[in-house]
Amino acid sequence: MEPIDPFRDDTIWMTMDPTAFPGIHNNNVMRTVDGPYLRIVEQPKQRGFRFRYGCEGPSHGGLPGASSEKNRKSYPQVKVCNYQGAARVVVQLVTNTAEPHLHAHSLVGKQCDKGICIVELLPKDSSISFPNLGILHVTKKNVSKVLEERMIEAYRMGYNYGIFINPEIDVLQGEVRMPRELTDAERNLISSASIHQSKEMDLSVVRLMFTAFLPDSDGGFSRRLEPVISDPIFDSKAPNASNLKIVRMDRTAGCVTGGEEVYLLCDKVQKDIHNHDDINFAIVFKTPKYRDQNLQKPISVFVQLKRKSDNETSEPKPFTYHPQIIDKEEVQRKRQKTLPNFQDYSGAGGGAGGMFRGGGGGSLKFPPCIKGHFFQGYQTYNNFGSGYNFSSGVGGGGTTIKHAYQEPVEDSDEDSDSDTDDDPAAGGVVRICAQPEPVGLGVESEDTEPTENLELNTTGCVLEPHLAELAGRQAQALFHYAVSGDARMLLAPQRPLMTTQDENGDTGLHLGVIHSQTDAVRNLAQVISGLPGEDIINMRNDLYQTPLHLAVLTQQKEAVEALLEADVDITLTDRHGNTALHLAAQQKEDNMLRLLLKYKPVVQLTSIPNTAGLCPLHLAVQANGLSCVRALLDGGADVDVQEITCGHTALHLATELGNLSLAGCLLLEGNAYVDSVTYNGSTPLHVAAGRDSTKLCALLMAAGADPHKENFEPLFFKEDELCGTCEEEEEEEDEGYIPGTTPLNMATSPEVYDILNGEEYQLTTTVVPPQGDMKSLSSDTKQELCQALEGQTGGWESLAHALGLGILTSAFRLSTCPARKLLDSYEVSGGTVRELVEGLKHVGNSSAVSLLQAMCKEPEAVHTTPQLTGPGLCKSIQGLTLGPHQEESGICDSGVETSF
DNA sequence: CGGGAACTCTA
DNA sequence: TTAGAGTTCCC
């Protein structure tokens, strides 16, 4: 016995549930492998092949193999295993049904006749490929006629094994030496079978059935092997040939109030373009209002594409509706709330802990109110209705409940959709989801009935009022315990109480944090972390906030520490997908961030995106938090991490925001990769050039950015009718090659253009006139000053400190002439001779002092143009020139050339 | 080959 | 009757 070949298609299928894979027929069961058997070596390509009508004539190319490629074509192929010798292989088209039937379509091509293909396998070969199979599409009115002929022929020739015609016919599957003649009874059976089967036949899909016949002792091919059936082949011309698939959504969460635009990128697996089996469609729609505007906690729903014609649906993608409350306000509100009197409720028992809120478990009334339009390439389609419906359902109790959906709205022209899309609630397009009325609930099974009843409750909430109050009081009672005494002693046995949540889902621990009761928090955290079982310390409130989130939001260092010590789960996210680290990254101060980052495991969170696709570093950049950016970089965050939606790095974002200091910080301190690319192939320099920012361009160029880097935006269109004049430029390009756009292409102003061409950016002349008068010193004087400084041990270093440039000493030290470097930096930073003299006096370098006083008689006279630079630039350049914490130094000017 | 016009069917 | 979906045919 040979070992079983794990790659045999039929051995693998053994483990599958055939009902779960409708395309797989139970023929494909494992068989013993010691005799000869037929095996499909290469499956046919399932999509992208078009069935042809007779009137279209022959020669439209053969059915390709699954792995066929443009330059390396392959074809369906079968192999007779465990056998050497001649064989005959018969290929028939069968239906894609559990019980395969003969298909009315015909196989056409080289060795095809009467709709089937018969090939002789030469004794020297063991496998055989079918390079020229066409599928002839029977016309609808001929289906039963053709099918009947096909059945008769199959029966005559003994090729009716494995295809189900009629039980009485099917038993007559013997080996056939000579074509069988049919009795009238048999003809009648076949006739009615063909009429019956033709009614059910799906003309847009077929499978290939291969049957091999080995020669018997008389040389006739009568030893039939078990047939094998291929994967289904879908007619690419059939209107429903496309796969519905949501490839990407630009957002996966939104507010219950709806009206937020969502872009869906959809696969349409139908055509074969450049070896990719897909075309991307974009569908834009606005989220409908959720039926319950008072939603208390996030609820998960699903987005899916649904095609009206055949009810085909895509895989559902999750989407989260969250309540419309702002965190800060919420905390504020809770703080203001008066606390109940503990004594009143202390005896209220603790049995009923847990979640009372049950609205989320039910099904969803998702108003059928989607409208939108398609893009494909540059065309806009408004015939939303002709293609897809948008639908949604929600998982509840293990079943997905789908809804009946309103007919899609169709716009009369593409300009009108802005009016109609705008405000669902206000006139015009009212049918966009204004009604709380559930429409056509497709609730099928009886077990959803209780949920149904609950849903009739207009608040969507199954919480019984008095129970809610009770729960709230328990949580607060616990909080009181914790505040007023040593919770460790009191609370250990009170486990149910600990899990109790108030009407906002807050536990006692949440409340402790909200009310800044650090000791209570510490006590509770200690108790709770000591308890086995339930994860009380990580319990989320209705906003999905853990106590840690609240502690970070309210900037309570001690509470955060206490919680971290109690080993909370730092990976938990709030309803926006933010971990506590994300929240800390958005704060003005970096202390929360640094505190969190001290805990090693937290560092891993730095590359986790929230639901908006942003990592902590991106959030810090967006919040213009230089100190937070530094904290993250110091903490080991990946400076080049990309956000999810477009692939921007922090440097892209900083550039986009025009934030020179952040960009400088990322480059200089974070050592960010200057030419990182977005999904679009754009570098930060593309962004800077696009927004016409001289400073950012100069910065990025100085950091080594490539001004010739092409992104994926075509620079022009080939048949450019819009612009007849600009063709000659790229005339000599290769056929079909369209270059991408470079930063240089994007430059609009001459300044930016020059900078990108490598011209020095003259900060001092164009933007930052020197404040100081160091320029008045001759180079000889400077030279002598340097010598005076070098002569004194530690001279220049002390001076650097005296001049507020101490932070740069280590950088200067790298230079061959640190003193010179110091003086240069001091000059460009706007230092004055007078202050230099003061500094020299301070460090006691009398020779240098006298030197300066001798050489420079009238320091006051040389006053420079005091057109001060804007504070933004000033600050940004600081970011470039100096290391962290230079804010204190008060230095404020350029020095760009020293930094790169 | 693939696009699409023309024709047919059906709700 | 008609629009849209599906089918067939033409280039």
Q: Which residues of A162-184 are buried (b: 16+ CB within 10 A; e: fewer)?
A: bbbbbeebeeeeeebeeebeeee
Residue nearest to nucleotide B1 (CA to C1'): A60
DSSP letter at A122 equals P
Tell whether the model's pLDDT for residue A658 goes beyond 60. Answer: yes
The answer to whether the beta carbon of residue A488 comes closer than 7 angstroms to any atom of strand B is no
Q: Identify the pLDDT of residue A606.
A: 93
Instruction: Residue A405: name the closest of A291, A308, A289, A318 by CA.
Output: A308
The answer to whether the beta carbon of residue A50 comes closer than 7 angstroms to any atom of strand B is yes
The string of pLDDT tens digits covering residues A97-150 is 889 999 999 999 888 999 999 999 999 998 999 998 999 999 988 899 899 999
Q: Annotate A635-673 with DSSP letters as a single string.
A: TT--TTPPPTTT---HHHHHHHTT-HHHHHHHHHTS---
Q: What one-letter code names the amino acid at A543?
A: L
Tell whether the model's pLDDT for residue A695 goes beyond 70. Answer: yes
Q: Identify the pLDDT of residue A501.
A: 77
- In angstroms, the CA A383 to CA A369 distance is 16
Beta strands in A32-174 (DSSP E): 37-42, 52-53, 77-81, 87-94, 106-109, 112-113, 116-121, 127-129, 133-137
A268 phi and psi, to 5 degrees? -125, 90
Q: What percent of chain A has pLDDT over 70?
A: 59
Nucleotide nearest A141, from its CA to each C1': C7
A558, containing H or E segment? helix A557-565
Between A451 and A684, whose confidence is greater? A684
Averaged pLDDT for residues A202-222: 89
Averaged pLDDT for residues A496-501: 69
Between A760 and A584, whose confidence is greater? A584
Q: What one-letter code names the amino acid at A756?
A: L
Q: Identify the pLDDT of residue A657.
A: 93
End-to-end alpha carbon distance in chain A: 72
Estimate the crossing angle of helix A660-668 against helix A626-634, to 10 degrees.
10
CA A434 to C1' C1, whole Å: 34
Q: Identify the pLDDT of residue A117.
A: 94
CA A402 to C1' C4, whole Å: 25
Averaged pLDDT for residues A737-757: 86
The string of pLDDT tens digits covering residues A456-469 is 111 122 222 233 34
Q: Identify the pLDDT of residue A28.
A: 36
Q: Identify the pLDDT of residue A632.
A: 95
- In angstroms, the CA A498 to CA A496 distance is 5
Averaged pLDDT for residues A747-770: 69
The answer to whether the beta carbon of residue A60 comes closer than 7 angstroms to any atom of strand B is yes
Q: What one-letter code names the amino acid at A483?
A: V
CA A310 to C1' C5, whole Å: 11
Nucleotide nearest A56, from its CA to each C1': C9
Residue nearest to nucleotide C10 (CA to C1'): A56
Mean pLDDT of chain A: 68
Q: What one-letter code names the amino acid at A97?
A: T
Averaged pLDDT for residues A893-897: 28
Q: Identify the pLDDT of residue A319.
A: 79
Considering the entire predicted model, what is its pTM?
0.40
Nucleotide nearest A73, from its CA to each C1': B1
Instruction: Residue A494: name the closest of A541, A468, A531, A456 by CA.
Output: A531
A186, containing H or E segment? helix A184-200
Chain B: nucleotides under 7 Å from a protein CB? 1-4, 9
DSSP letter at A58 equals S
CA A731, A734, A737, A743 dihedral sign is: negative
Residue nearest to nucleotide C3 (CA to C1'): A386
CA A165 to C1' B4, whole Å: 38
The answer to whether the beta carbon of residue A56 comes closer than 7 angstroms to any atom of strand B is yes
Q: Identify the pLDDT of residue A496.
A: 57
Nucleotide nearest A273, from its CA to each C1': B2
Between A487 and A527, whose confidence is greater? A527
Residue A537: how many CA atoms within 13 Å on its side-chain side?
A: 25
The H helix count followed by the E strand count for chain A is 35, 24
- In angstroms, the CA A181 to CA A195 distance is 21
In the structure encoding, which two tokens stand for residue A501, read together?
Answer: 């949540």
Tell whether the model's pLDDT for residue A477 goes beyond 80. Answer: no
CA A59 to C1' B1, whole Å: 10
Q: Which of A66-75, A260-269, A679-688 has the highest mean pLDDT?
A: A679-688
Tell whether the model's pLDDT for residue A546 goes beyond 60. Answer: yes
Q: What one-letter code names the amino acid at A779?
A: S
Lowest pLDDT segment from A127-141, A146-160, A760-774: A760-774
Q: Identify the pLDDT of residue A288.
A: 79
Q: Annotate A810-874 with DSSP letters as a single string.
A: HHHHTSS-HHHHHHHHHHHTT--HHHHHHHHHHHT-HHHHHHHHHH-S-GGG-PPP--PPPHHHH
Q: What percent of chain A has pLDDT over 90?
A: 23
CA A791 to C1' B11, whole Å: 100
- In angstroms, the CA A628 to CA A86 distance is 76
- In angstroms, the CA A268 to CA A245 distance is 7
Burial of A719 per CB tally in 10 Å (0-12, 13-18, 19+): exposed
Q: Annotate A687-732 with DSSP letters as a single string.
A: HHHHTT-HHHHHHHHHTT--TT---SSBSS-SS--S-STTSGGGTT
Q: Identify the pLDDT of residue A212.
A: 93
- In angstroms, the CA A104 to CA A200 distance is 11
Q: Identify the pLDDT of residue A882.
A: 32
A118 phi and psi, to 5 degrees? -125, 125
Q: How many residues does chain A have?
A: 900
Tell whether the model's pLDDT for residue A368 goes beyond 50. Answer: no
The answer to whether the beta carbon of residue A18 comes closer than 7 angstroms to any atom of strand B is no
Q: Identify the pLDDT of residue A583.
A: 94
Tell whether the model's pLDDT for residue A830 goes beyond 50. Answer: yes
Structural domains of chain A, ranges and CATH numbers in brackets: 37-234 (2.60.40.340), 246-322 (2.60.40.10), 601-712+739-765 (1.25.40.20), 779-854 (1.10.533.10)
Q: Identify the pLDDT of residue A313.
A: 59
CA A320 to C1' C3, whole Å: 37
Between A724 and A513, whose confidence is greater? A513
CA A57 to C1' C11, whole Å: 12
Pairing of strands A233-234, A261-268: unpaired
Cα angle, residue A868 at apex, residues A867 and A871 outer, rounded to 5°: 150
Tell whether the model's pLDDT for residue A342 goes beyond 70. Answer: no
Q: Annotate A20-50 with DSSP letters as a single string.
A: G-TT--TT-----SSS-EEEEEEPBP-SSB-
Helix, strand or coil, per DSSP, at residue A513: helix
- In angstroms, the CA A151 to CA A294 distance is 63
Q: Annotate A261-316 with DSSP letters as a single string.
A: EEEEEEEETT--BTTB--EEEEEEEEPPPPS-TT--S-EEEEEEEE-TTT--BPPP
Q: Identify the pLDDT of residue A455.
A: 20
Lowest pLDDT segment from A82-91, A293-302, A634-643, A881-890: A881-890
In the structure encoding, which two tokens stand for residue A297, read together?
Answer: 């906690």
The string of pLDDT tens digits covering residues A443-453 is 222 222 222 22
The answer to whether the beta carbon of residue A308 comes closer than 7 angstroms to any atom of strand B is no
Residue nearest to nucleotide C11 (CA to C1'): A56
Q: Which of A431-435, A509-513, A720-724 has the highest mean pLDDT?
A: A509-513
Q: Identify the pLDDT of residue A245.
A: 64
The string of pLDDT tens digits covering residues A573-593 is 888 889 999 999 999 999 999
Instruction: Residue A813: name the closest of A827, A826, A830, A796 by CA.
Output: A796
Q: Identify the pLDDT of residue A385.
A: 29
The answer to whether the beta carbon of residue A48 comes closer than 7 angstroms to any atom of strand B is yes
Q: Which residues of A410-423 are buried (b: 16+ CB within 10 A; e: fewer)?
A: ebeeeeebeebbee
Q: Identify the pLDDT of residue A636.
A: 92
Between A240 and A803, whose confidence is greater? A803
pLDDT class of A728 with cuts at 50, 70, 90: very low
Between A96 and A302, whose confidence is greater? A96
Chain C: nucleotides under 7 Å from a protein CB? 4-11
- In angstroms, the CA A834 to CA A837 distance is 5
Nucleotide nearest A272, from its CA to each C1': B2
The answer to whether the beta carbon of residue A276 comes closer than 7 angstroms to any atom of strand B is no
The answer to whether the beta carbon of residue A714 comes closer than 7 angstroms to any atom of strand B is no
Helix, strand or coil, per DSSP, at residue A255: strand
Q: Identify the pLDDT of residue A343.
A: 34
Protein footprint of strand C, defined by Cβ closer than 7 Å to any strand atom: A 53-56, 137, 139-141, 203-204, 237-240, 308-310, 383, 385-386, 410
DSSP letter at A581 equals H
Tell whether the model's pLDDT for residue A795 goes beyond 60. Answer: yes
DSSP letter at A483 equals H
User: Taking the CB of residue A26, how many other CB atoms lie within 10 A of it?
Assistant: 11
In the structure encoding, which two tokens stand for residue A311, read together?
Answer: 């009810």
CA A239 to C1' B4, whole Å: 14
Q: Tokens 């974070």 — which residue?
A: A670
CA A270 to C1' C9, whole Å: 21
A798 phi and psi, to 5 degrees? -60, -40
